[in-house]
Amino acid sequence: MPSNGAPIGTPTKVTQGSKTKGGIGESTLRPDGTLKVTGEFAYSSDMWHEDMLWGQILRSTVAHAEIVSIDTIEALALPGVYAVMTYDDLPTDVKNYGLEIQDTPVLAHGRVRHHGEPVAIVAADHPETARRAAAKIKVEYRDLPVITDEASATAPDAILIHENRDDHHVGHVPHPNIVHRQPIIRGDVEEAAKNADFVVRGEYTFGMQDQAFLGPESGLAVPDEDGGVHLYIATQWLHSDLRQIAPVLGLPESKVRMTLSGVGGAFGGREDLSMQIHACLLALRTGKPVKIVYNRFESFFGHVHRHPAKLYYEHGATKDGKLTHLKARIVLDGGAYASASPAVVGNAASLGAGPYVIDNVDIEAIALYTNNPPCGAMRGFGAVQACFAYEAQMDKLADKVGMDRVAFRQLNAMEQGTVMPTGQAVDSPAPVAELLRRVKAMPMPPEQQWLAAGEAADVRQLPGGLSNTTHGEGVVRGVGYAVGIKNVGFSEGFDDYSTARVRMEVVGGEPVATVHTAMAEVGQGGVTVHAQIARTELGVAQVTIKPADTQVGSAGSTSASRQTYVTGGAVRNSCELVREKVLEIGRRKFGSYHPAWATAELLLEGGKVVTDGGEVLADLVDVLEGEFVEVEAEWRHRPTEAFDLRTGQGFGHVQYTFAAHRAVVEVDTELGLVKVIELACAQDVGKALNPLSVIGQIQGGTTQGLGVAVMEEIIVDPKTAKVRNPSFTDYLIPTILDTPTIPVDVLELADDHAPYGLRGVGEAPTLSSTPAVLAAIRDATGLELNRTPVRPEHLTGTA
Amino acid sequence: MRVHFTVNGRPQEADDVWEGESLLYVLRERLGLPGSKNACEQGECGSCTVRLDGLPVCSCLVAAGQVEGREVVTVEGLADFAKQRAEHGGCASGACGTSLQDAREWAAEGHDSQTGEGTELSPVQQAFIDAGAVQCGFCTPGLLVAADEMLERHPNPTDADIREALSGNLCRCTGYEKIMDAVRLAAARQGEAV
C-alpha cells in the first residue's frame, strides 16, 4: 500500500449517527452509484427517442455587430433538414429570457452582443446534417465597435449594450452600461485612515474561469399530444427554467413538463438556460422529438462564466497589527447579458472585507455590460474574486507590521457576534482563527531532496512532471495561507424556499418512505442526504427517492451551497408532518392499549413507534396497515433583507460559512513551472450529514480554486472580444497529476438557525484555495503576483 | 457504410455509418451503449475511454470504420470482463495485458439495467462507489476502464503510477482524492483476493 495518501474511505472526523441505520451523520453511499459505475445512469446527452431529430445552433462569429441579413434558403434545401428557425419564427411576443433581467434574446434580433450568440437553429435527422445546414445559413454582419472594459463601457460616447433598460437597477447605476452598483459604507474611513501606521494598496486582476462541468449542455424535447412539450434536461433549477421557457413558447407552465435527466456537473454554469428553449421550439415546429447536445467547443459559448474582475484595495493597520480601515473597488465584467450579475455584485460587495473585524469600510462593487462573454454564477459567486484580493492584502500588511501572516489574520479574525460591514451581526459560530490554527497545525509534507536524488529523482513529482524539465535545479518551495467567508442560500430578501413531498406506506411488508422533490442532483449527493434525513426522521430502512420533475413544487436552485440546508430542511419538515400523521393513526388504532400514546414524546425508530424512553409501542407496519400518509409542504429559512442602495446596510445573508487553506508549492523558477505539493483545508460544516460527501465537496472545491490559481482562464481578445481558447486543449483544468493530496480537517460547530445545525459546504473551499496557492508561489519566488491565474511568463519575467 | 465489430464479447453490426462518425458516436447512438461519455469529443478528457483490442483509447478519436473486425470493451461490459479475467487466473505478474485471443473468447453477460440492483460489479467499480469517488459520475466510465486496465498491468501501483496512468482522464467534481482512494482500495482488495 502507498503510504503518503489519505486513509482509504475514512472521513477525517466521524460523527455520531442516529439510531436508525443509514441516517444523518453516516457516510452512506450514493443511491445512484451503481448506475453511474456501470454506464447505465441516463445523462441528458444519453436521451434517445424513436424518430428523434438533432438540433444545432448557429452562433455569431463576431462579438458586436448589426445583423444586416440572414439567408436560410440553402440550409432548408439540404436533404434531411426539417426546420430552420430565426428570430422571425419565434411564436410569441416574449422573445427574451433571463434569470432576473429578461435581456437575453432567444435568437439574435438585428444585433449580436457577444461572440457565440445564438442566431439561428436547425433540426435535421443526423447531427452532422444539422451542423452542415447551420453552416449554410448566410449571415451578413456590419461590425460595431467592441466594449471590453470599464473605460470603454463608461466612456461618455460609449455605445449602449442595452438601450431602453427598464430593469430595477437602471435607476441607481452611474451609467447604463453598468448592470448594478452596490456600495457598502460603515464607519468613517477617512478618519480611521489617520490612525493607520501602515497602509497597503494593491490592484488585482482575476481571470475569467469556466465551470468546465464535464457533461455538456444537452437535452431532449418531446412534443406532447396536447400541444405541450416534455423536456428532459440537465439543469440546476427546474422551476426557474420552466418560468423562463413557457412564455417564449406561448404555453402555460402546465403544458411544459420538465424531468431532470442525469446532470454531469454544474458549478453554476447551469443556472442560466442554454439549449432548453431551442430544443422545445424545434420540437413544437417539427412535431418530432429533438435532441441537442453541445460539443465542448460550443459548451464554452453555451454558458456564462465566472466574472473576471479588477479589484482595487487599500487596507490600513496600527503598529500593533489591528486593521483600521478598508477602501475597496471591485469591477466585475458581466459581459453582454445580465445573468446573475446583480447578485454577484451584492456578494462581492457584502463579503468584500473578508472574515475580519474592520469597523471602517468603504466598498463599491459594480458589474459592467460589455461585449465580452456573459458572466454569471460559478461556485463562490463574487466572494471568490474578493478573497483573492483581500488575502493578498493581508500578507502584505502582516509583512509591513512585522507579524506572522497567520497570527496577523487571527488577531483580526471575526468571531460570533462580529458586525459585518453591512451591519449584520454574525449570529452563529465563526471559527476563523480556529480554522487557521487547525490548518497550520496539520503536518507539513516532507522536504524533497531532489538534487541529492540525482538521476533517481521521480520527475513525476517535480514541476514540469513527465516533461522531465528539471531534477531539482532551480526548484524552490513556498508555503501560503488563506481564509475566506461565503454566504449560504439566496440573499438580499429573495424568497428562497423549497418544497418536499414525503409519503409513507407499507410496501412488501415493510414501511417505506418516498421522497419527491424537484431538487437538481448535479453530483453533490443531495439524493443521498434526502434518504438519510427520511431514515432519521421516520425510522425506516427503505427510502425511495423519486426522480426530480415539475410535478412537485419548486426546490429552488442547486447553488449557493443551499440544497442540504433548504431542500434538506424541507424534507425534514415534511417528514415531521408525516410523522405527526402517522402518530395520529397510531393513537387512533392503538391509543387505548397504552397510556404512553397520549402522554409520552413519541419517535419513529428502527421501524417502530417508541417513546423517548425507548419503550416500543407499535410496529410501523401495523400502524400503516391499510393506510398511507402523504404530505407536500414548502419550507423557508429565516427571511433576509435587501442591502440599502446607498450604504449597503441590511440583514442580507442567511448564513455564513468559512474555510481556510494552507498551500505548499514547488516552483521551477527558471521555467516558471509550478507544482502544488499539498493543499490542506480546514472547514466548519456545522454538522456533516454525510461526512464522505462533505469531504468530497471540500476536495473538489479546493481543486477548482487550484485551477484558477495556476492554469484556468478563458482568454478573450481585447481587440475583437472573441474567445481564443474554447477547448480542453487550450483551456486547461487540473488533471490528477496537477492535483496534490488534499488533507481535510472538518470542524462541526452547530448553527442553531439551520436544520441539524448544518452549514452549506460546497463553495467555501473554492474561495481560499486560490489565494493560498498564490501566497505560496509568492513565498517561493518573492514576486508580487497581482493576477490569477499565474502563468510561467509571470514567474520568469517574460510576460 | 456497414461496420462489423465485437462489443463486450458480442458481434455487432452498424448500418448507414457515415465516414466521419466516431466509434463513440456509433456506440452511443447506434448500438444503445451510452456508457462511454462525450465530455469533449476531442481526445482531451478521457470520458469516452474504451478498450480496443485490449488497449485503452479515446473512442471519440477512433473512426468507426477503423474498428472493423476488432474487439471493443466498454464500461457496460467491464464487470463481466473483469470476472472473466479473474477466472482465467488474473494477472499477478504485473506484466500481462489481455491477449487478443482472450478478448475474442470473452462475452459479457446480460443484466437488468433499470435499477442497477443486484448488478455484479468489478472490483474497481465497487471501489469507486465505496470510496466516494463518484459525484456527478460523468468521468467515471472512462476512469473505470483506464483504472481497470492499469490494475491489470500493474496490480500494486504507487501513487505516482496511479496518477500517471489516469492523467488522461479529467474529473471536475472530486479533486481526484477519492479516485486515488478508490484505485488504492481496488488494488488492495485485488491483492487480498489473490
Could you tell me which residues come within 8 angstroms of residue B160 by beta carbon, excluding any fewer than 6 positions away? A458, A460, A461
Say if CB B169 and CB B143 are below 8 A apart. yes
Question: For the ranges A130-144, A277-291, A438-452, B40-54, which has the lowest average pLDDT?
Answer: A438-452
pLDDT above 70 for A208: yes
Nearest chain B residue to A694 by CA distance is: B132
CB A514 within 8 A of CB A575: no
Q: What is the largest CA-CA distance in chain A?
A: 86
Beta bridge partners of A262: A43
Give the global pTM: 0.95
Predicted pLDDT at A5 = 34
Q: How far apart are CA A65 and CA A73, in angstroms?
A: 22
Antiparallel, parallel or unpaired: β A323-333 and A218-223: unpaired
Cell matching residue B1: 457504410
pLDDT surpasses 60 at A316 = yes
Q: Do B136 and A522 touch (CB under 8 A)?
A: yes
Nearest chain B CA: its distance from A667 CA (Å): 19
In the predicted model, is pLDDT for residue A799 greater than 90?
Answer: no
Q: Mutate one of B128, B177, B183 to test the A interface: name it (highest A CB count within 10 A).
A: B177
Instruction: Report percent pLDDT > 90 for chain B.
Output: 79
Contacts of B172 in chain A (CB under 8 A): 211-214, 265, 267, 700, 704, 733
User: Which residues have a Cβ under 8 Å from the Cβ of A118 and sit 6 or more positions away?
Assistant: A57, A58, A59, A105, A106, A107, A108, A278
Closest residue on chain B to A43 (Cα): B138
Report the C-alpha gap between A548 and B51 in whole angstroms.
Answer: 34
Please identify which residue in the block is written with the cell numbers 454525510.
Answer: A690
Kindly determine whether residue A36 and residue B134, on different chains, have CB atoms separated by under 8 Å. Answer: yes
pLDDT per residue over A73-128, tens digit each?
999 999 999 999 999 999 999 999 999 999 999 999 999 999 999 999 999 999 99
Q: Angle A383-401/A405-412 helices, nearest 10 degrees? A: 110
Give chain B positions within 8 Å (CB) of A33: 128-129, 134
User: What letter would DSSP give residue A511?
Assistant: E
Interface test with B, best of A38, A676, A697 (most B CBs within 10 A): A38
Single-letter residue type at B92: A
CA distance A415 to A431: 6
pLDDT of residue A788: 98
With vertex at residue A265, the alpha carbon angle to CA A710 and CA A750, rounded to the nearest 5 degrees, is 85
Q: Which residue in the set A8, A30, A693 is minimally distant from B185, CB to CB?
A: A8
End-to-end CA distance of chain A: 43
pLDDT of residue A539: 97
Residues of B in contact with A45 (CB under 8 A): 34, 37-38
Residue pair A147/A177 in contact (Cβ under 8 Å)? The answer is: yes
Identity of the amino acid at A284: L
Interchain CB distance below 8 Å, A214 and B37: yes
CB atoms within 10 A of CB A448: 18
- A736 and B171 within 8 Å at the Cβ level: the answer is yes
In this model, does residue A454 exceed pLDDT 90? no
Tally DSSP H helices, then E strands, for chain A: 20, 31
**Distance from the A697 Cα atom to the nearest Cα atom in chain B, whole angstroms:** 7
Beta-carbon count within 10 A of A626 CB:
8
- Segment A344-382, tens digit of pLDDT: 999 999 999 999 999 999 999 999 999 999 999 999 999
Q: In this complex, do A699 and B36 lie within 8 Å of one another by their Cβ atoms?
A: no
pLDDT recorded at residue B191: 83
**pLDDT given for residue B99 in this prediction:** 52
Give the ranges where chain B is alpha helix by DSSP (H). Answer: 23-25, 78-87, 100-105, 123-130, 140-153, 159-165, 177-193
Distance from CA of A128 to the nearest CA of B (A): 9
Percent of chain A with pLDDT over 70: 98
E strands of A472-601, at which residues?
Answer: 475-488, 497-507, 510-516, 542-545
Contact yes or no for A727 and B40 at CB 8 A = yes
Task: Please tell me the distance from the alpha carbon of residue B114 to that of residue A795, in angstroms, as a whole number.
Answer: 53
* Cβ atoms of B64 and B13 closer than 8 Å: no
Best residue in A1, A27, A29, A37 for a mutation probing chain B (most B CBs within 10 Å): A37
Tell which wins on pLDDT, A10 or A229.
A229
Give the strands of the sheet with B10-14, arranged side by side.
Answer: B10-14, B3-7, B71-73, B49-52, B55-58
For testing contact with chain A, the best of B18, B41, B136 (most A CBs within 10 A): B136
Q: Which residue of A has its CA nearest to B139?
A: A214
Only one residue has cell 465597435, namely A145
Residues 6+ away with beta carbon under 8 Å from B87:
none
Domains of chain A: residue spans and CATH: 33-40+497-636 (3.30.365.10), 44-144+216-263+270-302 (3.90.1170.50), 429-487+655-796 (3.30.365.10)
Name which of B15, B25, B74, B135 to mutate to probe chain A: the one with the most chain A Cβ atoms within 10 A of its Cβ.
B135
Residue B115 has a pLDDT of 47
B164 chain-A contacts, CB cut-off 8 A: 460, 466, 737
Higher pLDDT, B139 or A613: B139
The yes-or-no verdict on residue B113 having pLDDT over 50 is no
Judged by CB atoms closer than 8 Å, whether chains meet at A38 and B113 is answered as yes
Looking only at the bridges linking them, the beta strands covering A787-788 and B3-7 are: unpaired
| Rounded Cα distance, B16 and B21, in Å | 10
Bridge partners of residue A231, in order along the sequence = A221, A258
pLDDT tens track for A574-583: 999 999 999 9
Confidence class for position A658, pLDDT limits 50, 70, 90: very high
**Predicted local distance difference test score (pLDDT) of residue A18:** 40
Partner-chain residue, chosen from A264, A296, A734, that has the shortest CB–CB distance to B136: A264
* Distances A66 to A109, A337, A410 between C-alpha atoms, Å: 9, 17, 55
Mind telling me how many Å the CA of A528 is from chain B's nearest CA? 11
Which positions ≥6 away from A230 have C-beta within 8 Å? A221, A222, A224, A257, A258, A259
> CA-CA distance, A687 to A690, in Å (whole number)?
9
- Among chain A residues, the shortest Cα distance to B166 is held by A736
Is residue A365 within 8 Å of residue A348, measured between CB atoms? Answer: yes
Query: By mean pLDDT, which of A524-533, A638-647, A785-794, B100-109 is the weakest?
Result: B100-109
| 8 Å CB contact of B163 and A466 | no
How far is the alpha carbon of B18 from chain A, nearest alpha carbon, in Å? 9
Q: What cell does A687 get?
A: 454538522
Output the pLDDT for position A448. 79
Omega before A789 cis (within 30°)? yes
With beta carbons less than 8 A apart as the criterion, state whether B22 and B36 touch: no
Q: CB neighbours (10 Å) of residue A446?
A: 8
Which residues of chain A are within 8 Å of residue B125 when distances are taken between CB atoms?
37-38
pLDDT for the residue A455: 76
Q: What is the reported pLDDT for A154?
A: 98
- Does B172 contact A704 at a Cβ distance shorter than 8 Å? yes
Query: Cα(A470)–Cα(A460) distance, rounded to whole angstroms?
Result: 10
- Across the A:B interface, residue pairs with CB atoms under 8 Å apart total 217
Predicted confidence (pLDDT) at residue A142 exceeds the cutoff of 50: yes
Q: What is the 3-state secondary structure (H, E, C) of A80-121?
A: CEEEEECHHHCCCCCCEECCCCCCEECCCCCEECCCCCEEEE
- Quick: pLDDT tens for B46-97: 999 999 999 999 999 999 999 999 999 999 999 999 999 988 765 433 334 4
- pLDDT at residue A1 is higher than 70: no
What is the Cβ-side half-sphere exposure of residue A321, based on CA atoms within 13 angstroms? 17
Neighbours of A714 (CB within 10 A): 22
B38 chain-A contacts, CB cut-off 8 A: 45, 216, 293, 295
Which residues from chain B sit within 8 angstroms of residue A741, using beta carbons? 177
- CA-nearest residue to B187 within chain A is A1
**Does the distance separating the beta carbons of B125 and A41 come in below 8 Å?**
no
Distances from the Cα of A245 to the Cα of A65, A171, A519, angstroms: 26, 28, 18
- Give bridge partners of residue A610 from the DSSP assignment: A603, A616
Q: Please state, rounded to an integer, the average pLDDT across all residues of chain A.
A: 96
Q: Give B150-191 pLDDT, tens digit per residue.
A: 999 999 999 999 999 999 999 999 999 999 999 999 999 988
Give how far A239 is from chain B: nearest CA, Å: 21
